[in-house]
Every structure is written in C-alpha cells, then in structure tokens.
Chains A and B, each alone.
Chain A
Amino acid sequence: MQQSIEDELAFHREMAASHDDSIPLGNTAVIAEHGYDLWRFNFLENLWRDLLYAARGLRRSPLLVLAALVSLGLGVGVNATMFSLGTELLFSQPSVRDAGSIVAIRFSGNSHSPHQVLDFLAASGLLTDVVGENEEVISNYNDGKETRPVFSVLTTKNYFTGLGIPVLYGRGIAPDDPDEVAVLSYAFWRQHFGGDPSVVGRTLNLDGRMCTVVGILPEHHRTLIGFGYSPEIYMPRYLDSTILAIYGRLKPGMSIPAARAGLVAVAKRMDQAIPVDYQYEQGLEVSPVAGYARLKYESDTLAMAVFFALLLVVTGLVLLIACVNVASLLLARASARRREIAIRLAIGASRGRLLQQLLADSVLLSVLGAAAGLALAEVSAQGLARIHLPVPIPIRLQISPDWRLAVYGAFLAALSMLACGLLPAWRALKESIAHDLNREKKMRLRRALVAVQVAISVVVLTTGFLFLRNLLHASAISPGFDVVHTIRANVNLPSAGYGNSQEKYAYIDRVVNSLAALPGIESAAAARVMPFNGGTHFLVDLKFPDDGQKQRARFDWNAVTPGFFQTLSIPMLQGRSFAASDRGQHAVVVNSEFARQFLGGRQPLGTVFLWGADGKTPYRIVGVAAVTKMLTIGEEPKPQLYEALADIDNDRREIEFVLRSAIPPGLQLEPVRRTLHNIEPMAGAEVHTVYSSIGLAFLPSQVGALLMGSTGVLGLLLASIGLYGVMAFSVARRTREIGVRVAIGASRADIARMVLGDSARVTLGGIAAGLLVAVLVTKPLAMFLVPGLKPGDPVNFLVVALAMFATALAATWGPILRALKIDPASALREE
C-alpha cells in the first residue's frame, strides 16, 4: 500500500533530524498540496484520455456497440421497470405532510368506527390530529344527461388540513366549510371537465345534493390506502351514521408502542362513555401508513412483496445474461488487441494503467447501456400507468422515476461494468504475454460463458413457462356460474324515496320483473353481492337447537332473489331456492362447502340453527347450492350462505342485478340500461356483461404470466444472441480446418454435423446445469399457482429443454450456412 504524501515527508524530516542535518525549511503543507494536485490531475487526465480512446475504438465497431447497447438496455430497462413497479406498489408514500408520523387506528378490529369514537379520540388530546374517511362510498353523479356511479371518499372536515394534502387548484376541504363541498381527483377533472380550472367554484349534482367544487388534486396524489387506489371525489361526511376509518398524527417523538399504550387508556375510558357490545380495546391496532414500515405490519402484502422480490431476481438474471453477452463480445475484441497490448507492456506501461484503459471500454458501454435502459424504463412506466386494470375499483399506478431509481440505475450500471469488463480486461492482460497458446483457452472460456448463459436462460424460461401454464389452467377453471350468457347491472339508488327496506325491495321487485320481460332475456334476479366484485364475510357462532352444539362458522354472505341460482346457472344440489312461502321465515340456502364444514354430519335440508344479532333467531336450510368462486379463480372452495333479499334489513343503496340472455349478452346492454333509466332515472347504473366484470379473478394469474413470461422470452432471446456470436466466431476461427476437411472429401452433411455437434456440446451442458437449478428454484413458487399445477411437473422441464434446443438450433443455423460456404482453396490460403 502506498504511503501517503504526508507520511513520506514526515519520514524525510525524521531522517534529517536523526542524521543531524539541518532541518529542511519549507512548508510541508504546500508541498503536500502540490503533490495531491499532481496525482489528482493525473487521474482525471488519464480517465478522460481512456474514455476518448475507448469511444474512438468503439466507433470502429458499430455492430458491437449496437449489440451491447441492446442487450444492456433491455436488461437494465426491464430491471428498472420492475423495481419502479415494486417500489410504487409496496413502498409508496401517501401525499400527506410528514407521512411517517401518520398511523391507522382500529378499535375492536373494526376497519371503520362511528364518528363518536373519532370525536372522543380527538378530544382526548392523545394525538396531534385525528381524521377519518370512508373510502368505500359510491355517489351518483348527475351531469344533466345521465347519472353515473362514482367512487368517492367521505371525510371529516379536518381531513385535508390535518393531513396536509397538497392540491393543484383551489384548496382542500376546510373545517368551517358547509357540507356541500367537493374536491375532485385529477383524473375525474380531466375526464369530465377537460382540465378546465374554472370548474373550481361550480356546483355538481352529487347524490341529489348540489356541492361546490373547492379544489382539484394533483396528478400524482397518492391515497392513504395506497396500492394505486384513486377515488374520484372527496366530500365531507354529512350523515351521522357514516362510519369512518381512523387516522391520527403522532405527537413529535411519540413511538408506536407509546401511542398504543395511550390508545388502550382511551379505549378503557370509551368503554364507560360510549359503551357497546364489544370492548374497544380488543383487536386494537395501530399501524404506520407509509413505506417500508407499513409492509412490516400488514401481512397481506407479504405475498405481493415476495412476488416482486422473485421478479427482481428473475430480471436480475436476465441482466446477467445480457452482461455475459457483452463480456463475450469484449473478450473477442480484446483478443484482437493482443499485439497492441503486448507492445505497450514491452515499452513499460504499468499493468494498472493498462487495466484502466481496457476497462474504459466496458465503462463506456455500461454507462450508455444503463442510460438507454433507464430511458426504456421511463417509457414502459408511462405505458404501465396507462393500463386500465379490470378491477371494480379505480386503480391508477403512478410510476414516476425518482432518486431511488437513479441510485438503482447507477448500481446496475456499476454491476454490469464489472461483470462485462473485468473478465475480458484481465484475460487480455494475461494472455498478451503468453502468445497464441492462450487462444485455445480463451475459446473454452467463451464457450463456458455461453453455457452459463444457457443455464440461466433455462431457469428464467422455466419460471416464465410455469406462470404461462398457470394462466392457461386458471382460464380453464370454472368459476361455478355462467359467465358467458349473463349480464350484470350494478345500480346505486338515490337516498330520496328509498329510505327503508320495503321501498328498496319494491323497486327491486319491479326491476326484476321488467328485466325478465325484455325480449331475449330468459331470467333476471337481484343480489347484494356479485362474485368477484366484492364480498361480505361473517365470522359467527352458530347454535344448533337439536343438541345444543355450538359451531364457529366463517362464510361469505349474500342476499338474493329466488331466481338468482337459475339465472347464473348455479346448480342446486339439494332442495330448492326461496319460495313465496318462505317470506319472513328466515329461510337460507347454503353451499356444499358450508354443509360439509359446519353442519357436523347433519342432513342439510330442514336443519335449523340459531344465529343473528341476538343469537336467538332460527334459520332453516331449504337448499344446498354448488360452490362458486368469490375472489380469485384459484381459491379453495369457500363456505357460502344465501339469505332471501326480501327478508333482510337492506341498509345499502347498492344492488346487483343479474340477467340471463338467450342472445349474445353484449347486444342486451342498451335495452337493460334504458329499462333501468325508465324505472328510476336518478339511480346510477353500470351495465356490463358478466364476462367483462370478472377480470379481477384472473388478474393475479394474468399479471404473473405477463411479467414472468415476457422476462423468460427476453432471457431466451439474449442467450440465443450469445450463442450465435460464439458459434459464428468458432466457425470463422476454424475456417482453415473446415477447408482442409472439405478438400479431403468431407461432405456438406459432415461439416454441418460438426458445427452442430459443437453447438450441442455447449448447449447441453448449459441445459443440464440450468434444469438442475430450475428444479430447486421453482419449488417455492407453488404459492403463486392455482391448485392442480405443480412446479415440479416434468412436462415443464421437458418443454423448456426442447425450447432451448430449438433456439440453439436456430441460432446455429447462420454459422452452419457460413461453414458450408467455405471454399477450401481460399480457406487454405488464409493465415
């Protein structure tokens, strides 16, 4: 290790002193400074010179540069895109002031609480700000021509000021505003008002109330919920009964455990002040809303985090393949510069300097490749943000590049620089001293590199293929009801005129009859919940009066009209659907899974159990239906229970109508809309075919297939480029040998077989190694696959191996043709 300049000068003075020389005059600091300048300038000068030289050299081989830039650009681009996507979904910060100090609070495990709880908490002074929102609200927006349901958030009036949410125009809701105000989302504003800022101050008809627009949110506003959820309108809550999700701002310096302790104390006081059936302290939860901290608290997002980690690993492998490509290209190039390097070493250039010069090539390529990759990532991010996900709630991904991406990009560039450049540079130095006998070794190295590429590609391809197969399997799984002939109309009733359940049911009855009477419609029904578009879960204790047994039951609940099962073609396995005679008798239909899990071996039909708010209402099973999927296509069968819509206390304004059509359902959408509008023009209605509404079910498998599948193909492409390069080089090198063989009588088939054999040897090794790794690596992927598909299925590996072979064959085609064209006479004349 070199001594520092100061040490050297200090040593000199010590020596002078010990030899009784006169102490040298002169300021060591000045000398040292002079020295540092000398070294620094030298370094920069060399760096600049190396880069210029490298640039000139690269300009002479445009194909190399193109291949390298494409490889690196794709590798880095894909990586950066996945990174942006992942960080946006998992770590994004909501658009509030000081997001780190905001926490979500749940009492009694309830996601939402009445406003009295909020008011009590605010009054306790425990937290700086306490705000609330109900983000599951659908408002009817009447623009004068038609009424559409719009996703809204009802908030406390201190929501905007307490959280510190920035706005684009106007202002947020203020604590002294009247109830009839609204803040619009950027997307809603652009869609309905064309981005006209003068809409601030105008009034909109929302749910029959005239609300004044006071502000518009910025384009990149992120909600507290995150995951891209973007509601369209914010309004103050105006009903006493609206339940709210509670968020609070911690006092400066307050930790989450301290907040929790404080909240427990508040909960105990609330038990006295506003008592309810359960205790507020049970299921008390305090969790952060921002970034990494939130992930740690919410285990739901774990699967998503694991998926993205997997994705990053896979794209990282693709980048590795790309880097190996570039390294291989640079290796070939370094071999051509052998003589130049040897001469330089002979006239005394230092190894270090030479290494620097050789690395300059890879530095330049890596930096350019990373820049190209980041540009590609930006473009694809824009594309991704525009994708409209087929989910029932509005989700808009905002992937905007930020400092994290820049850091990650720099990291990738540095990594690829090392991966691409070190090996060729080091080899170039070593071999230029030892002349030609190293040519053979280098060829072996390049071939080994290609084998590694093939192996990695096999792993990446196996993953991609697995996800593609998953999608195919998922698409073949039946959801349990008819999605081909059916139509769904989601209706949101206005509050005026439909205050109680009787009025609602009268409307439902009228609509069902009118819809069933439409030409081409075979049957119609209504329900509270539509599969794949929401769900209501219950966890209760059922009591069986016949033997006094209690049973804990968790199930999905729905309330339907009698024609529901027939309309959706859900088979009734036992008994029947609801009849007019069941009115007021609390008749229920359960599905086979419910009967299996909770009835304890009893015959379902006629079984009575006690349930309900008072735990004493008897419910009688009149039918057993087949299982339908509720959330995802790959889910295990879930217990379901159906009540009669006429019997329940219907407190929601949202109703799902389903219709079965004899003619293609797409043709019936307009008649259905008109019918609904005629019956109640103030109700917001969305009418779609059921087929187009169940996109959510397939979303995970589609996303997985798209991302993994395309990465797999990319990896395959890059590996084939690498293989082609090596094979072409190999043929070129063996020109003489081939010429000799042809001259002594080898046939075209012999030559072709020779080249093919060469290529096969390289590929086989890679495939074998790759398959071995793939077997191990794909085992934990089972968590992402639908039941029925095993990651260890030998068919997967067989298909991948065949695909790799086919690709290798295609890549070797060109070199084989070139080999066949070799004319022995000219080949023998070559050096």
Chain B
Amino acid sequence: MGKAAQPALLQGTLDLLILHALRRGAMHGYAIAQTIHLLSEEVLKVEEGSLYPALWRLELDGAISAKSGLSENNRKAKFYQITRRGEKILADQEATWERLSAAVSRVLAG
C-alpha cells in the first residue's frame, strides 16, 4: 500500500473510488490516481502496486472496459471506462459505504 503516514484503504474501497473517478469519463491509470489524489485533497495517494491490480480485476469482472487511446501528450495509453455493470456495482458499493460509515460513526459516538 502507501507509506505509513497515509491511511490504509480496504480493497473494496479502492474499487469504489476508481469507479467513482471513472464517472467523469474515460481515463488512463495515472489520471485515475491523480483524480483520487486531488479529490481527497491530497490525502490519498494510490500506488501503482495497488492501483493496477485493482484496475485489472475490475476489467476482468466486466465492471470497466479498456480501449487504446492517445494521452494528452500524444502517447499511446490504455484508457478505462465504466460499463453498465460497473455503474450497478458502483451504486451498490456507495450504498454499502454509506451504511458502513454511518454504523462506524454511531459506534464511535457511543
């Protein structure tokens, strides 16, 4: 995962973040990592060692699909985009996250 200073992410959570990022459109792996980094206000930094296995697993599951494309500096890159199946999984995972975080908050408050 990341350095000790960063919070650890469960694998399911990483999938959630990736799928959410791809809602914005097709991106290559580096762009996904940057998006997560920026949206989390630079708290979360996803290393390639966890990013790519997660991306490949999502692709094999059919939640995202891949295409070859040109990056902003005209290099060939693999672009991912979310599929219908991915949208469904995202909706499920968002709901689960809501319930989970609400439950954890309740425990910590009590």
A residues with CB within 8 A of B? 1-3, 5, 7-9, 11-16, 18, 24-26, 28, 30-31, 34-35, 38-39, 42, 347-350, 353
**Complex CA–CA separation, A1 to B66 (angstroms):** 10
Residue of B30, B47, B68 most packed against chain A (CB within 10 A):
B30
B85 lies within 8 A of A18 (CB): no
A38 lies within 8 A of B57 (CB): yes
A12 lies within 8 A of B53 (CB): no
Least Cβ distance of B27 to chain A in Å? 12
Find the B residue at minimum CB distance from A35: B56
Give the residues in chain B near A349, CB-CB below 8 Å: 62
Question: Could you tell me which residues of chain B, from 2 to 43, have a CB within 8 Å of some CB in chain A?
Answer: 28-30
Find the B residue at minimum CB distance from A45: B60
B48 lies within 8 A of A14 (CB): no
Least Cβ distance of B57 to chain A in Å? 7
Residue A8 contacts which of B60, B73, B78, B88 (CB distance < 8 angstroms)?
Answer: B78
Give the residues in chain B near A30, CB-CB below 8 Å: 49
B60 lies within 8 A of A14 (CB): no
Number of A-B contacts (CB under 8 A): 70
- The answer to whether B93 has its CB under 8 Å from any CB of chain A is no
11 A-B Cβ contacts within 8 A? A3-B78, A11-B77, A15-B71, A25-B47, A26-B49, A31-B49, A31-B52, A38-B53, A39-B56, A347-B85, A348-B84
A35 lies within 8 A of B49 (CB): no
**Complex CA–CA separation, A24 to B46 (angstroms):** 10
B77 lies within 8 A of A3 (CB): yes
- The answer to whether B106 has its CB under 8 Å from any CB of chain A is no
B residues with CB within 8 A of A? 28-30, 47-49, 52-53, 56-57, 60, 62, 65-66, 68, 71, 73, 75-78, 83-85, 88
B30 lies within 8 A of A15 (CB): yes
Give the residues in chain B near A350, CB-CB below 8 Å: 62, 65
Least Cβ distance of A351 to chain B in Å? 11
A38 lies within 8 A of B78 (CB): no
B52 lies within 8 A of A8 (CB): yes
Find the B residue at minimum CB distance from A30: B49
**Complex CA–CA separation, A2 to B78 (angstroms):** 7
A1 lies within 8 A of B62 (CB): no
B78 lies within 8 A of A12 (CB): no
**Complex CA–CA separation, A347 to B89 (angstroms):** 12
**Complex CA–CA separation, A471 to B10 (angstroms):** 81
Residue B66 contacts which of A2, A7, A15, A25 (CB distance < 8 angstroms)?
Answer: A2
Find the B residue at minimum CB distance from A42: B60
8 additional A-B pairs beyond A3-B77, A26-B48, beta carbons within 8 Å, are A1-B68, A8-B78, A11-B75, A12-B29, A24-B48, A25-B47, A31-B53, A348-B83
Least Cβ distance of A819 to chain B in Å? 45
- A9-B62 contact in complex given A3-B68, A38-B56, C-beta closer than 8 Å: no
Give the residues in chain B near A9, CB-CB below 8 Å: 48, 52
Find the A residue at minimum CB distance from B73: A18
A24 lies within 8 A of B47 (CB): yes
Residue of B52, B76, B84 most packed against chain A (CB within 10 A):
B52
B52 lies within 8 A of A35 (CB): yes
Give the residues in chain B near A348, CB-CB below 8 Å: 62, 83-85, 88
Give the residues in chain A near B53, CB-CB below 8 Å: 31, 34-35, 38
Least Cβ distance of A342 to chain B in Å? 14
Give the residues in chain B near A13, CB-CB below 8 Å: 48
Find the A residue at minimum CB distance from B83: A348
Residue B29 contacts which of A8, A38, A353 (CB distance < 8 angstroms)?
Answer: A8
A16 lies within 8 A of B77 (CB): no
Give the residues in chain A near B49, CB-CB below 8 Å: 24, 26, 30-31
Least Cβ distance of B76 to chain A in Å? 7
B48 lies within 8 A of A31 (CB): yes
Closest 7 CB pairs of A and B: A348-B85, A15-B30, A26-B49, A3-B78, A348-B84, A42-B60, A12-B30
Give the residues in chain B near A2, CB-CB below 8 Å: 66, 68, 78
Least Cβ distance of A355 to chain B in Å? 14
Find the B residue at minimum CB distance from A31: B49
**Complex CA–CA separation, A8 to B48 (angstroms):** 10
Least Cβ distance of B71 to chain A in Å? 7
B60 lies within 8 A of A39 (CB): yes
Give the residues in chain A near B65, CB-CB below 8 Å: 350
- A26-B47 contact in complex given A14-B75, A18-B73, C-beta closer than 8 Å: yes
**Complex CA–CA separation, A18 to B77 (angstroms):** 15
A11 lies within 8 A of B28 (CB): yes
Give the residues in chain B near A11, CB-CB below 8 Å: 28-30, 71, 75-78
**Complex CA–CA separation, A30 to B66 (angstroms):** 22
Give the residues in chain A near B71, CB-CB below 8 Å: 11, 15
**Complex CA–CA separation, A277 to B65 (angstroms):** 86
Give the residues in chain A near B78, CB-CB below 8 Å: 2-3, 7-8, 11
Find the B residue at minimum CB distance from A353: B62
